Structure 1
Amino acid sequence: MSATPSPSQPIALYDSGVGGLSVLRAAQAALPHEHLLYFGDQANVPYGSRSLEELRAIAEASARFLLSQGAKLIVIACNTASAAALKHLRAVFPDLPFVGMEPAVKPAAEQSHTRKVGVLATPSTFHGELYASVVERFAKDVEIFQSTCPGLVKQIEKARLNTPKTRRILEEAVLPMLDAGADTLVMGCTHYPFVIPLIEKIAAGRARVIDPSPAVARQTARVLAERSLLNPSLEPGSLRFITSAEPAAFEYALSRLLGLSAQAEAASWQGSELKLIPKN
């Protein structure tokens, strides 16, 4: 990384797949003049059941790749990777600003009237130090209900947001929480905001749903401002998409999830390194 990145360089957003597009959507709204580079590591999705060592190695290689593509800041738009690797990445790349995902337990605890909160996240997020520390700091007096929503990430990767299977997964996760008195639900995985409309139908007014993506976009803006890295241009920022799997599948999900028609580039894992595949 160069010692002084240019404000015109892109913000990179990194996720295991298409879940981080929920963060990209929020970043585009909050920072419309910034160039955004999105990398979905779909060759390795889902991250939720991988070991800590695996996740750190994958995240470090992904960060090196995004640096090679000119990133001035990296948003780890993945709760699992943030929980496993954010501290590690900041140690390995001390001059590069990172913004990570943190389960929105604090605002949930503040907003809950019943003092009962439901959290939907992956096993790795629940087992990580970050989640435990957030609960310890901000939700000591709150009863927390947890669900890993098995199979939900795969449904969202395929843009199956409102199918009977997706609804069944969510009902099995959410209804017991609601029946136990939870009045606030936290999306602890960046994939999950895409099914908030379905969750709200299932909850039928019994709970509010917290999407952390807008707060992450605001934090990104603050970090850029602190480092004088906000893009001064008044032109709309560009969007660039890279996947480590099949671009056509990513493009389909992109069109279904965000309504965007865009071409994705391909990168491949070559040993422990990511390499951009040249366009034909």
Structure 2
Amino acid sequence: MLKHIGARPPMKAFGPIGIFDSGIGGLSVLKALQKELPLERFVYLADSAHAPYGEKSEHFVAQRTHAIAEHLCAHHHIKALVVACNTATAAAIHELRLKHPMLPLVGLEPALKPALALTRTGHIGVMATQGTVSSAKFARLLSSVQSEAHFMTQACNGLAMAIEQSTTPDQTHCAQAQITHLLQTYTQAMGRFGSGPGEIDTLVMGCTHYVFVENALQALVGPEVQLVSTGVPVARQTQRLLMAAGLLNAEASDGVSQPVCLLTTGDLQGLQAAALRWLGLPGEVCQAVPASLHDT
């Protein structure tokens, strides 16, 4: 049975926004949030010790999601939570809303509806993890729009993990080769890309990790194909919820030396490399989380 969080300090406008993903993929969402909400503080948690969620059971993903949400509430006093993972959103967002009724929550789902507004051929590709495409939440989303276009859905097993491993110094070369192979395999399996009749002209990146291989993906499908991600819509929804709750930070926080704190349950060097490579952040903002969070 779900239990509500016990007494906790009232949420304040200067409190941080919590963000988490199964690994480093959600850094793409953090980047969009930083651009949209430059006065806010952020705490990002990468559950890299258990990545990728997309190839784990729904029960396991839900357990991890609840444990991380409670950790961020209890130890970092977050004022809002962004579940920067399609798989975790599908597995646990409903129960999270019940368990944390006062906490503004933003989840992710593959951007099928935005893709509908962009396609001209009526053929849309969707790349996502197995956990996402197999979920009931995704099935409901697809059912709501599939009469409006032809959707080709592709589960991309192994791709999120290869992107995760590409930030680990001793695995970078091997992981990059694996990324190239997997991108070629999955795009070929989806069919023809282009702007002609029957061709896929819009491709939804249904996993936050995929944004970090966007250039390689674009090169494979061609310049006429539009790639769609969820970072900007999520950032704007977060802004709307904070404004509605009176929690939007209207001024810079004086005396805060680290407006961004990055945490990981996995390899600290991997997170540091990803933070520098994709966000330009120094290794000093990265920390390992307590061992108590490593297991559900």
TM-score normalised by the chain length of structure 1: 0.91
Counterpart residue identity of residue 114, structure 2: P
In structure 2, the residue matched to 1:177 is 190
In the TM superposition, what is the alpha-carbon distance from 1:211 to its structure 2 partner?
A: 1.3
Partner of residue 41 from structure 2, selected from 16, 24, 35:
35
Partner of residue 287 from structure 2, selected from 261, 265, 269:
265
Q: Does 1:90 align with 2:97?
A: yes
Q: Structure 2: give runs of 5+ residues left out of the alignment.
A: 1-6, 193-197
Give matches, 1:212-231, under 5 Å: 212-231=230-249
Q: Structure 1: give runs of 5+ residues left out of the alignment.
A: 275-280
In structure 1, the residue matched to 2:3 is none
> Given the superposition, is the C-alpha separation of residues 138 and 28 from structure 1 closer, same or farther in structure 2, using an over 3 Å criterion?
same
Instruction: Out of 71-80 and 263-272, give the one that drifted further.
Output: 263-272
Q: Does 1:4 align with 2:22?
A: no
**Aligned-CA RMSD value:** 2.1
Distance 1:11 1:190 in 2: 18
Does the 8 Å CA contact 2:126/2:151 hold for their aligned counterparts?
yes
Distance 1:165 1:107 in 2: 30
Does the 8 Å CA contact 1:7/1:72 hold for their aligned counterparts?
yes
Does the 8 Å CA contact 2:130/2:157 hold for their aligned counterparts?
no
Instruction: Out of 249-258 and 50-59, give the one that drifted further.
Output: 249-258
Distance 1:37 1:228 in 2: 20
Distance 1:270 1:150 in 2: 29
Distance 1:201 1:164 in 2: 15
Instruction: Out of 135-144 and 101-110, give the one that drifted further.
Output: 135-144
In the TM superposition, what is the alpha-carbon distance from 1:188 to its structure 2 partner?
A: 0.5
Does the 8 Å CA contact 1:178/1:207 hold for their aligned counterparts?
no
In the TM superposition, what is the alpha-carbon distance from 1:134 to its structure 2 partner?
A: 1.4
- Sequence identity percentage: 34
Distance 1:139 1:194 in 2: 28
Distance 2:181 2:293 in 1: 38
Distance 2:57 2:288 in 1: 25
In the TM superposition, what is the alpha-carbon distance from 1:271 to its structure 2 partner?
A: 7.5
In the TM superposition, what is the alpha-carbon distance from 1:55 to its structure 2 partner?
A: 1.2
In terms of fraction of residues, the more helix-rich structure is 2
Give matches, 1:7-156, under 5 Å: 7-68=13-74, 69-156=76-163
In the TM superposition, what is the alpha-carbon distance from 1:25 to its structure 2 partner?
A: 0.2
Counterpart residue identity of residue 122, structure 1: T
Instruction: Show CA shifts across 1:45-104 (max 9, x none).
Output: 111121121111111010000001111000000111011111111111111111000110
1:209 aligned counterpart, secondary structure: strand
TM-score normalised by the chain length of structure 2: 0.87
> Given the superposition, is the C-alpha separation of residues 16 and 106 from structure 1 closer, same or farther in structure 2, using an over 3 Å criterion?
same
In the TM superposition, what is the alpha-carbon distance from 1:169 to its structure 2 partner?
A: 1.0
Instruction: Out of 258-267 and 183-192, give the one that drifted further.
Output: 258-267
Instruction: Show CA shifts across 1:208-249 (max 9, x none).
Output: 100110110000000000001001214598000110122122
Counterpart residue identity of residue 177, structure 1: M
1:34 aligned counterpart, secondary structure: coil
In structure 1, the residue matched to 2:268 is 247
In the TM superposition, what is the alpha-carbon distance from 1:270 to its structure 2 partner?
A: 3.0
In structure 2, the residue matched to 1:277 is none
In the TM superposition, what is the alpha-carbon distance from 1:178 to its structure 2 partner?
A: 4.7
In structure 2, the residue matched to 1:238 is 259
Equivalenced residues, count:
274
After TM superposition, where is structure 1 displaced by more than 4 Å over at least 4 residues in a row?
271-274
Distance 1:167 1:12 in 2: 32
2:227 aligned counterpart, secondary structure: strand
In structure 2, the residue matched to 1:163 is 176
In the TM superposition, what is the alpha-carbon distance from 1:199 to its structure 2 partner?
A: 1.0
Does the 8 Å CA contact 2:126/2:203 hold for their aligned counterparts?
yes
